């Protein structure tokens, strides 16, 4: 909803654009619980006034009277050159300055949101910026982006071109953000904002979430709490390189900027060309970090994530079971095993392709998506027949943006790969992997054809795992002109999106997993084209507690692939019991990453029971509201979280002991998100104890559970070998 300072409310808009009266100055865009207010005065600089709890029209009108000092809503470089800027350019005559003022604003009503567009123009040059805000009617998310148009006679060079800017009033403000590496993604860092500039950026070129992540939360009331306190969250929704900056200068505000990373990426904007920056999404909540997370999860499930209204299948992926050693016998055996345990889908990973250069190791055949008939004499058709016989769906692994120099594709098209002119070709995995240049329309067609050919030949394929295992290591496009080499990072991702859009237009119901050396592409820019992501190549259950915790800040459980794997774990060599591994995997989209024939009959039966239990709670986990309760990053020896249905009639509570000492003391965990007036029956899932817990089958009020919680035993009353230092519990709560 839009509100005007003159004390009246704009009527609900039709789905057409209309221009608001320019006598209005203060304008707010609102979601159900939040408002963002601007001072939009024609001929003046656009001013940011407020972001927080929803305001009424009278309060919007009085913001300046309350002492609010309007900051530039989209600061530009020029007449205050010492200040931080969101946009800087160089005009064709060499001038490096901008001086932007409001020309007007427009409002558009969409099906489930309203969009405010404020047009700015330079006071001298025909150079335009439209600052855009989308406020959703049913979720507390406001999206920001800019549309930058060159009306000058010659090319203007964009030096820096952020999507969004947010001033945050100084106080005891803390920032939560995420860092990591391969097999150690989504590690949480929390610190107070101090004078200076804090930069979070990614320069991988292909993957943008493995080291740093493009999301951040600001706690306005000191160190963040999970379910109380004022918090602002921001996420740049972009597939490419980004830069987030938190600048604390001498003013009364911390200044947050988000946009495409300008590192070696200046953009030459031609006459009459418009550059649209990626969306940055913001949310505000008084319910702490988890409150902001719930807002992002609801928005993501409703408006971003592909097919988010459908339950995800329980699958077995072949990678850690057989690696590249694909063969028909093992594939059939794995299909039969996952079916016998209650699974619904089998996915054949890397190693199934290559004719001239068979994929026996990781140094060949990428780009040659033809079945290796030595490994699979009956081809994909034979595997689909076997899957149908076993009663499971079938999926397959591809890496369409990459090639090996040892491949038929590279033999035919060496000009398709990213390569710096006059330099030796740099390679990655296996000593031969290279990245295809998606700035090239022919490469875009090829990437689309990888999926299209598979689905045309084998329309019964239900699932595709899309991987990307290399970064851009040498800056150079054999397609782009010499004067536009700085466009490579941007044009690569424009090309990728074009290919993905074509795939989704033709195959909207195909399930596609976003994988990139594990969690390298966990970003809302990718997820409109994908149904889920591979959270990490690291399947160690203990480390997964931490990685899944960090990932949950912005991404819902339905998108988070979490698999039961073998012990000792293939990445850490840690031996974690099956109970703990299963419970951790049940926090997300449950699957398996194992060769089932290595499991004993007892272990298979335990997996069978866990899968059956997960099917009962799958709607709660995949569509419910998340409440994080006790963070593993606080090092208190325990981690705990829960999911609650919108109706608050069912919930799932998770408890994990993360360290073990004699006579240790762990905190008792109060629950959250329940209806205080309802009574909930407690049932333990995945139970391995000889006797049930004291509260098994008992009922408690939501008020009691949220004030006190339940006393969880520190260990299991189980057989020797199952009772060890690891302990975990999953409790189902059902309202009577």
CATH number for the domain that contains residue 645: 2.60.40.1180
| Pair (430, 341) in one structural domain | yes
Quote the CA–CA distance of 235 and 282 in Å, as a whole number: 7
| Domain boundary residue, one of 304, 329, 358 | 304
pLDDT recorded at residue 654: 99
Residue 310 lies in a domain: no
Question: What is the mean pLDDT of the segment spanning 24-50?
Answer: 95
More confident residue, 83 or 7: 83
pLDDT of residue 82: 87
pLDDT value of residue 15? 40
> The pTM is what?
0.96
Query: In the numeric block, which tokens belong to residue 188?
Result: 């949480």
Taking alpha carbons only, the member of 529, 560, 531 closest to residue 547 is 560
Point out the domain boundary residue: 304, 339, 358: 304
For residue 34, the surrounding DSSP H or E stretch is: strand 34-39
Read off the pLDDT of each residue in 393-398 and give the average, rounded to a whole number: 99
Q: Tell me: pLDDT of 87 over 50.
A: yes
Both tokens of 397, joined, read: 């692994």
Residue 79, pLDDT score: 87
Give the integer Cα–Cα distance in Å for 418 and 425. 9
Q: Do residues 534 and 671 both lie within one domain?
A: no
Query: Would strands 156-169 and 87-90 be described as parallel, antiparallel, or unpaired?
Result: antiparallel
* Dist CA 116 CA 448 (whole Å): 35
% residues pLDDT > 90 (the chain): 94
How many whole angstroms separate alpha carbon 645 and alpha carbon 651? Answer: 6
pLDDT of residue 5: 35
Here the tokens at position 277 are 């920056």
Q: What is the pLDDT at residue 4? A: 33
Spell out the alpha helix ranges (H) of 378-515: 379-390, 408-412, 441-457, 488-506
Q: Is 411 left (phi over 0), alpha (psi -120 to 50) or beta?
A: alpha
- What is the band of 216 on the pLDDT scale with cuts at 50, 70, 90? very high
Look at residue 134 and tell me if it is in a domain: yes
Distance of CA 634 to the CA centre of its chain: 23
Same domain as 338, residue 202: no
- The full DSSP string for 328-378 is HHHHHHHHHHHHHTT--EEEE-S-SB-SSS--SSTTS-TT---B-TTT-TT
Phi, psi of 408 (to 5 degrees): -65, -35
Secondary structure of residue 12 in the 3-state scheme? coil
The alpha carbon of 562 is separated from its chain's Cα centroid by a whole number of angstroms, namely 15
Task: Write down the pLDDT at residue 17.
Answer: 40
Q: How confident is the model at residue 723 (pLDDT cuts 50, 70, 90)?
A: confident
Residue 561 exposed, middle or buried by CB count within 10 Å (0-12, 13-18, 19+): buried
| Helix (DSSP H) and strand (DSSP E) numbers for the chain | 12, 38
* Residue 346 near residue 387, CB atoms below 8 Å: yes
Q: Tokens in use for 21?
A: 């009266």
Is residue 155 a contact partner of residue 127, using CB atoms and an 8 Å limit? no
Q: What is the DSSP secondary structure assignment for residue 278, as one 8-state letter?
A: P
Q: For 561-601, how does the pLDDT look when each residue is reduced to its tens digit (9 = 90+)?
A: 999 999 999 999 999 999 999 999 999 999 999 999 999 99
3-state secondary structure of 641: strand
- Which helix (H) or strand (E) segment holds residue 553: the answer is none
Residues 529 and 664 in one domain: no
High-pLDDT (> 70) share of the chain, %: 97
C-alpha span between 390 and 376 (Å, rounded):
18
Using one digit for the tens of pLDDT, what is the confidence trace for 293-306? 999 999 999 999 99
Kindly state whether residue 659 falls inside one of the protein's structural domains.
yes
- Residue range(s) defining the domain that contains residue 60: 2-304
Whether residues 210 and 356 fall in one domain? no
* 662 and 577 co-located in one domain: no
- Residues for the chain: how many in total? 736
Measured CA distances, 380 to 327, 467, 508, 560, 592 (Å): 11, 19, 22, 27, 22
Q: How many CB atoms lie within 10 A of CB 424?
A: 8
Q: What is the pLDDT of residues 17-26, one digit of tens each?
A: 444 444 458 9
Number of domains observed in the structure of the chain: 3
Handedness of CA 74, 78, 84, 88 (dihedral sign): positive
- What are residue 568's phi and psi, to 5 degrees? -60, 150
pLDDT bin (cut points 50, 70, 90) of residue 436 is very high
CA geometry: angle 617, 621, 625, nearest 5 deg: 130
Distance CA 622, CA 645 (A): 10
Q: What is the 3-state secondary structure (H, E, C) of 136-151?
A: ECCCCCEEEEEEEEEC
For 701-708, what is the mean pLDDT? 98
Q: Are residues 562 and 481 located together in one domain of the fold? A: yes
Please list the alpha-helical segments (H only) found in 458-600. Answer: 488-506, 541-551, 578-585
3-state secondary structure of 43: coil
Same domain, 581 and 651: no
Please report which confidence band the pLDDT of residue 720 belongs to, taking 50, 70 and 90 as the band edges: confident
Measure the CA–CA gap between 712 and 695, rounded to whole angstroms: 10
> Can you tell me the distance from the alpha carbon of 204 to that of 489, in angstroms, rounded to the nearest whole number?
9
Q: Give the model's confidence band at 69: pLDDT under 50 very low, under 70 low, under 90 confident, else very high.
A: confident
Q: Within 10 Å of residue 474's Cβ, how many Cβ atoms?
A: 16
Would 309 be classed as within a structural domain? no
Task: Check residues 615 and 14 and name the one with the higher pLDDT.
Answer: 615
Q: Which two tokens stand for residue 267?
A: 């953009």
Predicted confidence (pLDDT) per residue in 125-168, tens digit: 999 999 999 999 999 999 999 999 999 999 999 999 999 999 99
CA-CA-CA-CA torsion for 676, 682, 686, 691, nearest 10 degrees? 140
Measure CA of the first residue to CA of the last residue in the chain; give whole Å. 38
Together in a domain, 698 and 619: no
* E strand segments, 151-206: 156-169, 174-179, 187-192, 196-201
Q: What is the pLDDT of residues 478-521, one digit of tens each?
A: 999 999 999 999 999 999 999 999 999 999 999 999 999 999 99
Same domain for 320 and 271, yes or no, is no
Average pLDDT of the residues in 406-412: 98
Q: Which tokens is 723 given?
A: 């009772």
Q: Do 200 and 340 sit in the same domain of this protein?
A: no
Distance CA 675, CA 649 (A): 8
> What pLDDT is recorded for position 94?
98
Domain end call among 555, 589, 623: 623
* pLDDT for residue 666: 97
Residue 561 covered by a domain: yes
CATH label of the domain that carries residue 526: 3.20.20.70
Please count the other Cβ atoms lying within 10 Å of the Cβ belonging to residue 239. Answer: 23
Same domain, 49 and 64: yes
The CA angle 615-620-625, to the nearest 5 degrees, is: 155
pLDDT tens-digit map of 617-662: 999 999 999 999 999 999 999 999 999 999 999 999 999 999 999 9
**Residues 4-8: contacts with CB under 8 Å, at least 24 apart:** 4/57, 4/60, 5/57, 5/60, 5/61, 6/61, 7/57, 7/58, 7/61, 8/57
């Amino acid at each position: 909803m839009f509100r005007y300072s003159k004390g009246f409310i704009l009527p609900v808009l039709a789905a057409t654009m209309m221009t608001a009266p320019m006598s209005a100055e203060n304008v707010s865009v609102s979601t159900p619980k939040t408002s963002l207010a601007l001072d939009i005065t024609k001929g003046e600089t656009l001013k940011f006034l407020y972001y927080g709890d929803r305001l009424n029209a009278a309060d919007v009108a009085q913001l300046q009277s309350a002492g609010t000092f309007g900051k530039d809503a989209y600061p530009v470089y020029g007449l205050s050159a010492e200040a931080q800027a969101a946009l800087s350019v160089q005009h064709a005559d060499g001038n490096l300055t901008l001086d932007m003022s409001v020309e007007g604003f427009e409002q558009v009503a969409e099906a489930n949101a309203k969009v405010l567009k404020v047009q700015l123009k330079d006071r001298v040059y025909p150079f335009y910026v439209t600052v855009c805000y989308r406020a959703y009617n049913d979720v507390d998310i406001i999206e920001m982006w800019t549309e930058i148009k060159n009306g000058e006679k010659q090319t203007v060079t964009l030096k820096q071109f952020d999507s969004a800017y947010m001033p945050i009033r100084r106080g005891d403000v803390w920032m939560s953000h995420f860092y990591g590496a391969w097999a150690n993604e989504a590690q949480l860092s929390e610190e107070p904002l101090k004078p200076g500039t804090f930069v979070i950026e990614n320069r991988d070129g292909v993957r943008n979430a493995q080291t740093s992540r493009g999301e951040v939360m600001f706690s306005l009331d000191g160190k963040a709490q999970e379910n109380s306190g004022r918090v602002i969250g921001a996420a740049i929704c972009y597939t490419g390189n980004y830069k987030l900056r938190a600048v604390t200068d001498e003013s009364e505000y911390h200044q947050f900027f988000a946009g495409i990373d300008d590192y070696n990426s200046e953009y030459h904007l031609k006459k009459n060309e418009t550059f649209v920056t990626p969306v940055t999404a913001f949310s505000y909540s008084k319910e702490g970090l988890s409150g902001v997370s719930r807002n992002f999860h609801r928005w993501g499930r409703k408006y971003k994530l592909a097919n988010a209204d459908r339950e995800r299948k329980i699958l077995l992926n072949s990678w850690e079971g057989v690696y590249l050693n694909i063969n028909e016998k093992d594939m059939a055996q794995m299909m039969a095993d996952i079916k016998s345990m209650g699974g619904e889908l089998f996915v054949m990973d890397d190693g199934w392709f290559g004719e001239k250069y068979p994929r026996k190791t990781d140094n060949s055949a990428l780009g040659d998506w033809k079945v290796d008939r030595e490994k699979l004499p009956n081809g994909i058709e034979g595997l689909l027949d076997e899957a149908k016989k076993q009663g499971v769906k079938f999926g397959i692994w591809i890496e369409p943006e990459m090639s090996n120099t040892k491949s038929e594709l590279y033999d035919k098209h060496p000009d398709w790969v990213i390569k710096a002119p006059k330099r030796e070709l740099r390679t990655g995995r296996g000593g031969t992997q290279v990245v295809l240049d998606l700035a090239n329309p022919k490469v875009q067609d090829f990437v689309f054809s990888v999926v299209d050919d598979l689905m045309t030949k084998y329309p019964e394929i239900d699932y595709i795992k899309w991987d990307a295992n290399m970064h851009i290591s040498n800056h150079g496009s054999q397609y782009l002109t010499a004067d536009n080499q700085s466009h490579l990072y941007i044009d690569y991702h424009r090309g990728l999106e074009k290919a993905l859009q074509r795939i989704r237009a033709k195959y909207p119901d195909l399930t596609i997993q976003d994988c990139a050396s594990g969690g390298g592409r966990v970003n809302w820019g990718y997820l409109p084209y994908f149904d889920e992501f591979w959270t990490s190549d690291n399947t160690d259950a203990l480390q997964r507690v931490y990685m899944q915790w960090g990932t949950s800040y912005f991404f819902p459980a339905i998108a988070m692939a979490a698999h039961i794997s073998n012990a000792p774990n293939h990445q850490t060599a840690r031996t974690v019991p099956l109970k703990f591994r299963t419970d951790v995997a049940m926090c997300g989209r449950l699957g398996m990453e194992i060769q089932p024939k290595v499991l004993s009959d007892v272990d298979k039966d335990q997996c069978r029971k866990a899968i059956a239990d997960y099917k009962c709670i799958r709607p709660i986990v995949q569509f419910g509201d998340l409440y994080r309760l006790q963070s593993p990053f606080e090092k208190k020896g325990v981690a705990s979280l829960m999911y609650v249905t919108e109706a608050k009639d069912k919930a799932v509570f998770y408890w994990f002991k993360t360290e073990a000492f004699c006579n240790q003391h762990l905190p008792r965990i109060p629950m959250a998100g329940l209806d205080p007036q309802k009574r909930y029956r407690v049932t333990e899932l995945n139970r391995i104890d000889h006797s049930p817990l004291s509260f098994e089958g008992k009922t408690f009020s939501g008020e009691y559970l949220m004030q006190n919680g339940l006393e969880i035993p520190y260990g299991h009353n189980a057989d020797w070998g199952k009772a060890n230092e690891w302990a975990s519990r999953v409790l189902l709560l059902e309202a009577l």
